[in-house]
Structure 1
Amino acid sequence: MKYSDIDGRKKAFIFELDNVLYPEKDYLYQVYYLFASLMEYTELLSSHQITELLVKAHNEDGKELAFDRLKEKLHIDERFRHNLQHLLQTAKLPLKLLLYKNMLDLLQEIVIDRKKIFIVTNGNPEQQLNKIKQTEWHGLEQYLIAYFADESTPKPETNVIELLMKEHDLQRRDLVMIGGTDTDQLCAGSIGIDYLNVTDFL
């Protein structure tokens, strides 16, 4: 799908952030590397081994269980869970996060066509903002308006979309949501706006 395939009457586009505009693993893997470096410095453990274990656990069991699997393997003290969580929210990454190429092209076309771009993202607001700040937007950041759903009610609840519509004088027919999960699709369906899956563009 291309921008030209989308209904030209749409006035605004709503995007989720993780795995829609950029691959979330690019953020998490860098945080795992930073955490591993901290553990090597403070606990004299192998940073390479910790990074590999966290990435493996992430891929096999999901990001929520990554620290648990590391703890099981290396008997790391529970108090270090806080360090990882803190880094996940505030880490200064070694490398900028890069947008999917097709999504960058889409965003640029939306801007050229003078339509609005909203990022409406679930997750810890501090962490999501940290990701946005460390993404290479190629000058598009000035056109982005971000809403953090967890500051009201996470998607699929529609509170954040209703707020967005009210604050920017938009109707349902004006909007299209581009997401990558059942949560996004359910949110769009619940409020009655058009939905496109990110896989249509990648």
Structure 2
Amino acid sequence: MQYSDIDKRKQAFVFELDDVIYPEKDYLFQVYYLFASFLEYTDLIDAKVATNLMVNTYLAGEKENVFEAVKAQFNIDEKYRVNFYHLLLTVKLPLKLLIYQRILEMLQEIVVDRKKIFIVTNGNPAQQLNKIKQTEWHGLEGYLTCYFADEIKPKPATNVIELLLTEHGLQRRDIVMIGNAGADNLCAEACGVDYIYANELITSNK
């Protein structure tokens, strides 16, 4: 699927952030590297080994257990949990987050068509804002309107979409939601709006 395949009557595009605009691992893996470097400095732990452990824990589908894995493997102090979660929220990344190329092209086409772009994201608002600030938007920043669903009620609850429609004078038929999680699809279904699975865009061929 490409932008040209989408109904021309759509006036607004609602994107999730993680694994839709950019690969979430690009943020998390940099956090893991920095935390491992911190442990190397404080506890003389091999940073490369610690980083690999965290990455492999994530790849095994255990993202929520990354700190536990490091704690168990290296017997680090529980006090470092605060450091790890603070870093997840506030990290200053060594490298900017890069948008998927197909999504970037789509965003640029939406702007050229003078249609609206919304980021409506689940997750800790402070962390999600930090990700947005450290993404390389290629000048698109001024065209984004962001909503942090957890400030209202996380998707699949429809509250944030209902608010968006009201605040911007849009009808359900005007928007399309683009996501990669079950919560996004369920939210779109409950709202009665069209939905696109982001992978259909990310992996599309021209």
TM-score bracket, shorter-length normalisation: over 0.9
What's the offset of the Cα at 1:37? 1.1
What's the offset of the Cα at 1:71? 1.2
Residue equivalent to 2:8: 8
Give, as a single letter, the amino acid of the residue that structure 1 aligns with 2:107. Answer: L
Residue equivalent to 1:89: 89
Residue equivalent to 1:28: 28
User: Aligned-pair RMSD on alpha carbons?
Assistant: 0.7
Aligned length in residues: 202
**Equivalent residues of 2:122, 2:150 under 8 A apart:** yes
What's the offset of the Cα at 1:75? 1.1
Partners of 2:73 and 2:36 in 1: how far apart?
A: 14
Residue equivalent to 1:113: 113
Partners of 1:77 and 1:158 in 2: how far apart?
A: 41
Give, as a single letter, the amino acid of the residue that structure 1 aligns with 2:14. Answer: I
Give, as a single letter, the amino acid of the residue that structure 1 aligns with 2:100. Answer: Y
Partners of 2:62 and 2:52 in 1: how far apart?
A: 14
Residue equivalent to 1:151: 151
Aligned-partner SS, 1:201? helix
Partners of 1:69 and 1:87 in 2: how far apart?
A: 17
Give, as a single letter, the amino acid of the residue that structure 1 aligns with 2:105. Answer: D
Aligned-partner SS, 1:10? coil
5 Å-filtered alignment, 1:158-197, equals 158-197=158-197
| More moved, 52-61 vs 143-152 | 52-61
What's the offset of the Cα at 1:69? 1.2
**Equivalent residues of 2:71, 2:77 under 8 A apart:** yes
Partners of 2:154 and 2:91 in 1: how far apart?
A: 23
TM-score normalized by structure 2? 0.96
Q: Residues 56-76 of structure 1, C-alpha deviation per residue, up to 9 Å, x if partnerless? A: 111114210111111111111
| More moved, 67-76 vs 85-94 | 67-76
> Where does structure 2 lack aligned partners over 5 or more consecutive residues?
none
Asked if residue 54 in structure 1 is aligned to residue 57 in structure 2, the reply is no
Partners of 1:100 and 1:144 in 2: how far apart?
A: 16
Residue equivalent to 1:100: 100
Partners of 1:191 and 1:122 in 2: how far apart?
A: 16
> Where does structure 1 lack aligned partners over 5 or more consecutive residues?
none
Give, as a single letter, the amino acid of the residue that structure 2 aligns with 1:34. Answer: L
Q: Residues 52-108 of structure 1, C-alpha deviation per residue, up to 9 Å, x if partnerless? A: 111111111421011111111111111111111000000000000000000000000
**Equivalent residues of 2:45, 2:74 under 8 A apart:** no
Identity of aligned residues (%): 63
